[in-house]
Amino acid sequence: MNTEKYNGWTNYETWNVALWIDNDYGASSYWAEVAQGIFENSEATETFTREENAAFALADQIKESFEQDAEDKELVLKKAGYDVSWTNDAINAYLGEVNWYEIAQNQLSTLAEETI
């Protein structure tokens, strides 16, 4: 198990996805809005705080969005006649390394900073 961080993030893949979200105005605005809505609808449970439950829910949505985007791109390439077997495997391996919870926590912490 690799315990080295990459630019303060769990690994390169997590840093890279977070960078794409943060450096694209449309994406950062969208995910900030989603984070706000999820946080407002989250509650604490006996096991997890409100913030942790919000991070779990947001992490799932971000992950699903990126996986769907990868799947959509694969379909476009297949329709164009390209064999995307190995690239699809590589993309899925890459996405499998992303710490989605860490990205969600970052989005929620940014939200908290902006509302203070």
Stretch 9-36: mean pLDDT, rounded?
96
pLDDT of 64 > 70? The answer is: yes
Residue 100 sits in which domain range? Answer: 12-115
| Full-model pTM | 0.88
> How far from each other are the two terminal CA atoms of the chain, in whole angstroms?
37
Residue 69 lies in a domain: yes
What is the residue-wise DSSP string for 33-69? HHHHHHHHH----SSS-HHHHHHHHHHHHHHHHHHHH
Whole-number pLDDT of residue 1: 56
Q: Tell me which amino acid residue 108 is.
A: L
**Domains identified in the chain, total number:** 1
Residue 4 lies in a domain: no
pLDDT of 78 > 70? The answer is: yes
Stretch 15-29: mean pLDDT, rounded?
96
